[in-house]
Structure 1
């Protein structure tokens, strides 16, 4: 397994470590539930250095990304602005979901998923060559330019970072959500994957341990992948490999808002999306009976059947919740049944965002 630069710290901290997409990552540091609540109520921090930052630079960087991504980078006009997008194959399936940051007209930073990084880079390089575009594609994982990433999330997360390194506050306090700033060697973004406020800090790998220890001293609780998953599920955020993959259209995965079909530009997968319109709605479920919701369970309703893509117990709501692909006619407020073992249990259809900023919405 590959290891992040913080791996030794995780071992010393008593983390339970697991194989996650070929990386040895902390599942929890003793209590997944307590880590979840720490992020909702105060502040937690995650080692997300397995994610891969990729710098795309050169005269053709913008035209390249304009053709490569389903979302339109022409929306990026201000330095530091972030855009969420899917990268599609020719059949309209999702190769990966990613963030792209605009630095200037010839410079962008992408953050791609760990398990798909090699596939993503190969895909990008093939198209760079096919389209004969002048740009460089540089993954920042190894060597002198290697980067690490730490996410600090929660209602007190920003204050924890300012306490850990007070000098960064003037640069990052004015940031609006989905904006980033370069502060010295650090790239600080007001983004996250938990439904709470906070920052994702990308920095030279050799500096990551020092920041991690400073955040811990400031009161940010180390959190693992277990809490990260229940937090993102409560926030209604997709997970690649569960809620979408290369066989799933972004239109069926609740990602239509990240696909720009109205602009005249062409992009990989556009023709397939236009030829094969949306077939399912992507909605939330709250189980009304006792039980546990899991991926691949069948959902039966008056408009037909669907399938759960992600499901778990919500520590905030104290109920079982799920994301599901359901027939187009399904409406919020409908009651459906979920096949769990040999029983059909009742569930309510809700908007696919259960908890945000500490508040229960479903």
Structure 2
């Protein structure tokens, strides 16, 4: 087996005391000493995550817009200005999710876009990009010269702008799901995977370690994969390969809002089986589960309801709530309670609408 790849921040992780593990073929920090402290920094202050294992692809071509309208379940016609971002699924021919990704509009002419997609799926993503792209004459340029750092939390933008005051006007003008090109291959977007405010910064790889250390110097906490996972679960955000995959429809994974069927003339990959499933009625739904007694909910545990069984797709102990939470797929008729098989014992759980936590606040009574 080949050695895991490293990101341009690798030395910074080591210098900060990161405990490095193999994640989807990449050596990345699981934590820097305390996952709980890292989680709480993002909920109350500012933390940063290396997300350079994700694939940045720049797309150009006269038919780039048409290609994306064929490739993606959401419609890039919604990208009404340069820098606007769109979250979407990319489906296979059966309507299952190949990947979830973000696409940015990069020019006025709608002939240039940027896609950010997942690390674990980069090979099959690129194969699908190329396969569907062949008929549209587009050029796909993977940006291996760039890296990416998520700076997240209620004080993230303030701390970033302590370092980069010259960015203040442009960055403060960003609304969620908007990005801005700041020149010299620096790009800042108001996006994230934590349920907090913040940005994701794409930058030239030769600036990686310096930028990381500068952010540390203004009090941004380095955060690892462990905190990233508890934060995204509290925020009710899917993780590819767990909460959805090639055999899961977006309609079964809480992603119906990312499917755009308004333009009936637009035919995208996976549309026919998706519409057929919608018409026949989806028999499962995605929910949150809260365990109010001791124990931890884990992926793969069976959920028992009066309407049949479901399954936990992600589970953890929530540092913010001090209780165990899970994302689960259950029969569509499930109401506000269920049971989970925890080591052979059926244990009562509350069934909640996601998310559990957003902007530092509990989202349920």
Q: Could you say which TM-score interval applies, normalised by the shorter chain? A: over 0.9
Map of 1:40 onto structure 2: 43
Map of 1:158 onto structure 2: 157
Contact 1:164 1:211 in 2 (8 A): no
Map of 1:325 onto structure 2: 329
How far apart, CA to CA, are the structure 1 residues paired with 2:342 and 2:130?
Answer: 44
Compute the displacement of 1:84 (Å): 0.3
How far apart, CA to CA, are the structure 2 residues paired with 1:169 and 1:276?
Answer: 46
How far apart, CA to CA, are the structure 1 residues paired with 2:169 and 2:149?
Answer: 19
1:278-357 superposed matches below 5 A: 278-331=282-335, 334-357=336-359
Compute the displacement of 1:167 (Å): 1.4
Map of 1:259 onto structure 2: 259
- TM-score w.r.t. structure 2 length? 0.96
Map of 1:175 onto structure 2: 174
Q: Could you say what secondary structure the match of 1:276 adopts?
A: helix
Moved over 4 A (4+): none
- TM-score w.r.t. structure 1 length? 0.96
Map of 2:111 onto structure 1: 106
How far apart, CA to CA, are the structure 1 residues paired with 2:117 and 2:168?
Answer: 27
Map of 2:88 onto structure 1: 85
Compute the displacement of 1:267 (Å): 0.3
RMSD: 0.8
Q: Could you say what secondary structure the match of 2:243 adopts?
A: coil
How far apart, CA to CA, are the structure 2 residues paired with 1:159 and 1:226?
Answer: 25
Contact 2:11 2:209 in 1 (8 A): no
Compute the displacement of 1:262 (Å): 2.9
Compute the displacement of 1:274 (Å): 1.6
Q: Could you say what secondary structure the match of 1:78 adopts?
A: coil
Deviation digits for residues 205-243 of structure 1 (CA, Å, limit 9, x no counterpart): 111222111111111000000000000000000000100
Q: Could you say what secondary structure the match of 2:125 adopts?
A: helix
Contact 1:286 1:321 in 2 (8 A): yes
Contact 1:80 1:179 in 2 (8 A): yes
- 1:23 equivalenced with 2:22 (yes/no): no
Deviation digits for residues 123-142 of structure 1 (CA, Å, limit 9, x no counterpart): 1101112xx2121011111x
How far apart, CA to CA, are the structure 1 residues paired with 2:353 and 2:62?
Answer: 42
Compute the displacement of 1:94 (Å): 0.4
Compute the displacement of 1:276 (Å): 2.3
Gaps of 5+ in 2: none
How far apart, CA to CA, are the structure 2 residues paired with 1:13 and 1:321?
Answer: 30
Contact 1:164 1:217 in 2 (8 A): no
Map of 1:197 onto structure 2: 197
Contact 1:288 1:345 in 2 (8 A): no
Map of 1:147 onto structure 2: 146
How far apart, CA to CA, are the structure 2 residues paired with 1:206 and 1:162?
Answer: 20
How far apart, CA to CA, are the structure 2 residues paired with 1:219 and 1:184?
Answer: 26
Contact 1:70 1:258 in 2 (8 A): yes
Map of 1:224 onto structure 2: 224
Compute the displacement of 1:353 (Å): 0.2
How far apart, CA to CA, are the structure 2 residues paired with 1:3 and 1:83?
Answer: 28
Structure 1 window deviating more from structure 2 (59-68 vs 159-168): it is 159-168
Deviation digits for residues 321-356 of structure 1 (CA, Å, limit 9, x no counterpart): 00000101113xx11100010101110010110000
Gaps of 5+ in 1: none
Compute the displacement of 1:269 (Å): 0.2
Map of 1:52 onto structure 2: 55
How far apart, CA to CA, are the structure 1 residues paired with 2:45 and 2:55?
Answer: 27
Compute the displacement of 1:45 (Å): 0.5
One of 119, 124, 127 as aligned partner of 1:119: 124
1:265-280 superposed matches below 5 A: 265-277=266-278, 278-280=282-284
Compute the displacement of 1:76 (Å): 0.7
How far apart, CA to CA, are the structure 2 residues paired with 1:304 and 1:342?
Answer: 17
Contact 2:64 2:113 in 1 (8 A): yes
